[in-house]
Amino acid sequence: MKIILLLALRFIQPCEDDSTSNKVISLPTEKIVPVFTADTRANRLSFQRNFDENSYTASMGGIFPLVNMNRGKLKSQLSTAGSTYLTLLRYDNSGSVRNVDFFVDLLFDIKLSKNWIMRLGTSHTSQHLSDDAIIAGSLFKNFAKDYHQVMAVYQSKKHGILGYGGIEYIYNFKTNEDLSNNVLLHVGFEHYPFFTHKKWIKNMYYAGDIKLRQELNFAHTANFQLGYKISYNNKRAMRIAYDYTEGVNEIGYYQPQNRNFSHLGIYLDF
């Protein structure tokens, strides 16, 4: 966190030889890096119907830019992000909450060129069974981790493509055992194959996201998404998408168990 804040302050400091190129904008409305839509734990609002069981997954959150900092030709953005994910199980005329998972991030994005962006971040997640699940007899399990991330992002609006890849260093990771000092590899993409068309079909896209976890011998979680995006001024968007997820369960309590399933959802990117 200190490194990110120091870099942000460095960008804010005036540049003597070209002070006119320095600009600080508070609370910008547009993100330098868009949401990674196929990441099943992206910071966003969402509601999904799961088809492997009678359940729903919902999330509340988002990415909130705090300040844009321009220094010469370099542009950067400091953001905070957070979200809560939960699973709602449905029964006859009733329901219960299975898990509640929390995520919080401090992100610093640096636009290196027209297409390339570097993301630095520090993050925390804690994932828990709900009271309903514990009352039903599930055993308590701790799951909390703190980590730093470095990502490279490539975005070409000319070709309708977004790609990203990076690494998370998990310096503090506690479950029923200490799993600290492991890494997670993270890659993904989003592509609009009909983006040159002028009709509604231009908003059709497909995307993928893959995570490899060192503590599980680099076992993977993969999600593939096919969807339609409705965008508002390129700043806000609503997506309707069908996903197929396979590999290690994203819910921390159930790792290292696998879960292969499809789900249909509505996603709001603000």
pLDDT digits (tens, 9 = 90+) for 16-30: 444 446 789 999 988
Say whether pLDDT at 3 is over 80. no
The larger pLDDT score, comparing residue 170 to residue 255, is at 170
> pLDDT above 70 covers what percent of the chain?
90
CA distance readout (Å), 51 to 56, 92, 144, 252 = 9, 17, 28, 20
pTM of the model: 0.89
28 sits in which H/E element: none
pLDDT attached to residue 232: 65
Give the model confidence (pLDDT) of 153-192 as tens digits. Answer: 999 988 999 999 999 999 999 998 999 999 999 999 999 9
Residue span of the structural domain in which 6 resides: 2-269
| Per-residue model confidence (pLDDT) at position 1 | 59
Distance (Å, whole) CA 25 – CA 104: 23
Question: Over the stretch 213-247, which tens digit does the pLDDT of each residue have?
Answer: 999 999 999 999 999 999 865 578 899 999 999 99
Number of domains in the chain: 1
Pick 9 or 68 by higher pLDDT. 68
Q: Could you tell me which residues come within 8 angstroms of residue 138 by beta carbon, excluding any fewer than 6 positions away?
A: 129
Q: How many Cα atoms are found within 13 Å in the side-chain-facing hemisphere of 266?
A: 2
Mean pLDDT of 113-140: 86
What is the rounded CA–CA span in Å between residue 155 and residue 191? 10
User: Taking residues 112-132, what's their average pLDDT?
Assistant: 92
**Predicted local confidence at residue 5, as pLDDT:** 52
Over the chain, what is the mean pLDDT? 89
Per-residue pLDDT at 9 exceeds 70: no
Q: How many CB atoms lie within 10 A of CB 179?
A: 17
| 227 burial type by CB count under 10 A (0-12 exposed, 13-18 middle, 19+ buried) | buried
For residue 255, report the phi and psi dihedrals to the nearest 5 degrees: -70, 140
Q: How far apart are CA 234 and CA 49, in angstroms?
A: 27
- Is-contact 36 164, C-beta < 8 A? yes
Question: How sure is the predictor about 73, in pLDDT bands with cuts at 50, 70 and 90?
Answer: confident
Per-residue model confidence as pLDDT tens digits over 83-115: 999 999 987 777 889 899 999 999 999 999 999
Query: Any idea what the CATH number is for the domain that residue 265 is in?
Result: 2.40.230.10
